[in-house]
Amino acid sequence: MTIEEAFELTRKRDEMKANFHSGELYSSVPLECFEPYNTKMHKMVYFNKPIYVFENHAVSLRAWREIAQNSPTKVLTFDEHSDTHPPLWGYCCKALNHDEDFLVRLIDALKNNLNDSIIEGLYKPIPKYTDAYLEGRLLQNTEHIAAAIYWGIVSEVYICCTEPCYPETLVTNLTLKDIYKKVSFIDLPFDSDNFPSDFSKCDYFSPLLELYRKSAANFNDDTIIRILKQCNLGEDYILDIDLDYFQTPFILSQKYSTLKRFCKMVQQAKGITIATESVWVERQVESYTSIYKEIDQNCNRLCCINPFRKTWTSKELLQYLLGLIEYVLSGQWEAELNLDRQVNEAWNKIWRNPS
């Protein structure tokens, strides 16, 4: 192997990294998939992998049912929120006056008659109980996980989120409590309960704040290794992603070297579902902007540039994510890995034998 040949391999590898991003998947997504609380579901099949995009996370119930095809499967979900309220809990609170026994009879009846039209009916607004926040739907955007478990659409759910909650404490009915035996929360290193609410006492360079920034802004192989250690996925699972999980678009624009195991998860999943959640992405941006603004005002030291100074949207996050998925499923990822190995081997040989 000559130096010229090693340089040529390096050039090909770098050219591949720089040039791939066709945007084929992203360009097909309709605008309705970004409209707040819209229930439109857009389906794509790319290299035999079904990919579903929708705005309202509750719509995942339809997508999971299609992917599972009457064979309950596991779900690994990335979400800022845990979304594990009992099925039709919002409706129960309003219309049924917290009558949990009646609620169980209702969701049992739905389970026994579950079909496409029944599921469609769950997303229709209820004029009598219309709520501006949730648009009065029977199935609200925090109830799809428990509903999918109860109705036998999924077998287990592993949740990676920064705000875990344990909603079995909301209910007294044992049938509802049983749902949560099939829900597992994946531990993150950051404990949000201990984060200081008084930012005037917060040192911008403190280990606690640094840990917060890392857990929120880093989505890399270390994160995925920690996840895989805690759940037994195999190759029969659905990869579910709520875009409000990603605290900055830079996470999804990283080079493959920091996302290798995530790319592998994309390959192995039997289907991928993505909630754009435009309203919650916008709220996340507002939240982090206010946090860092307050820290800047109360910190005596010179603050370094942080990734949250940039405003981003669910469209931008989806473009990065679908670009990554397209990159993986098209085979470009493995081709680049192979070229990377060849480049490393070539230069190692030259360094060992410089003559």
Whether the Cβ atoms of residue 73 and residue 154 lie closer than 8 Å to each other:
yes
In a domain, 336, yes or no: no
Q: pLDDT tens digit string along 187-198?
A: 655 444 444 444
Mean pLDDT over residues 50-67, rounded?
A: 96
In a domain, 144, yes or no: yes
Q: Which residue blocks in the chain are alpha helix, DSSP H?
A: 3-19, 24-27, 60-68, 89-95, 100-112, 116-122, 144-150, 174-178, 207-217, 221-230, 260-268, 278-298, 314-329, 332-352
**Side chain identity, residue 244:** D
What residues contact 245, with CB distance under 8 A and at least 6 apart? 78, 79, 80, 160, 161, 162
Question: What's the rounded Cα separation, in Å, for the pair 108 and 100?
Answer: 12
pLDDT band at 135; cut points 50, 70, 90: low
Q: pLDDT tens digit string along 233-245?
A: 877 899 999 998 8
In a domain, 305, yes or no: yes
pLDDT band at 291; cut points 50, 70, 90: low
DSSP single-letter state for residue 35:
S
Most confident range (mean pLDDT) of 51-60, 73-82, 261-270 is 51-60
Share of the chain above pLDDT 70, in %: 75
In a domain, 350, yes or no: no
**Side chain identity, residue 322:** L
**Domains identified in the chain, total number:** 1
Q: Tell me how crowded residue 93 is: count the other CB atoms within 10 A of its CB.
A: 14
In a domain, 182, yes or no: yes
Res 3: pLDDT = 82
In a domain, 343, yes or no: no
Q: pLDDT tens digit string along 69-80?
A: 989 999 999 988
Q: Which of 240, 89, 52, 72 is nearest to 156 (CA)?
A: 72
Res 315: pLDDT = 93
Q: pLDDT tens digit string along 207-263?
A: 554 554 445 445 777 777 778 887 878 778 999 999 988 877 777 766 566 677 888
**Residue 184: Cβ-neighbour burial (10 angstroms; 0-12, 13-18, 19+):** middle
The terminus-to-terminus CA distance of the chain in angstroms comes to 11
The pTM (predicted TM-score) of the whole model is 0.81
Share of the chain above pLDDT 90, in %: 34
Checking 36-41 for CB contacts under 8 A at 24+ apart, the result is 36/278, 36/279, 37/134, 37/135, 37/141, 37/279, 39/123, 39/137
Mean pLDDT over residues 134-139, rounded?
A: 69
> What 3-state DSSP class applies to 233?
coil
Residue 121 belongs to domain spanning: 21-329
For residues 177 and 129, the model is more confident at: 177
For residues 278 and 37, the model is more confident at: 278
Question: What's the rounded Cα separation, in Å, for the pair 250 and 312?
Answer: 10
In a domain, 322, yes or no: yes
In a domain, 4, yes or no: no
For residues 303 and 257, the model is more confident at: 257
Model confidence at 15: pLDDT above 50: yes
Question: What's the rounded Cα separation, in Å, for the pair 197 and 167?
Answer: 24
Res 29: pLDDT = 96
Checking 10-17 for CB contacts under 8 A at 24+ apart, the result is 10/343, 10/347, 12/339, 13/336, 13/339, 13/340, 13/342, 13/343, 16/332, 16/335, 16/336, 16/339, 17/255, 17/336
Res 11: pLDDT = 82
Most confident range (mean pLDDT) of 23-37, 50-64, 159-173, 219-233 is 50-64
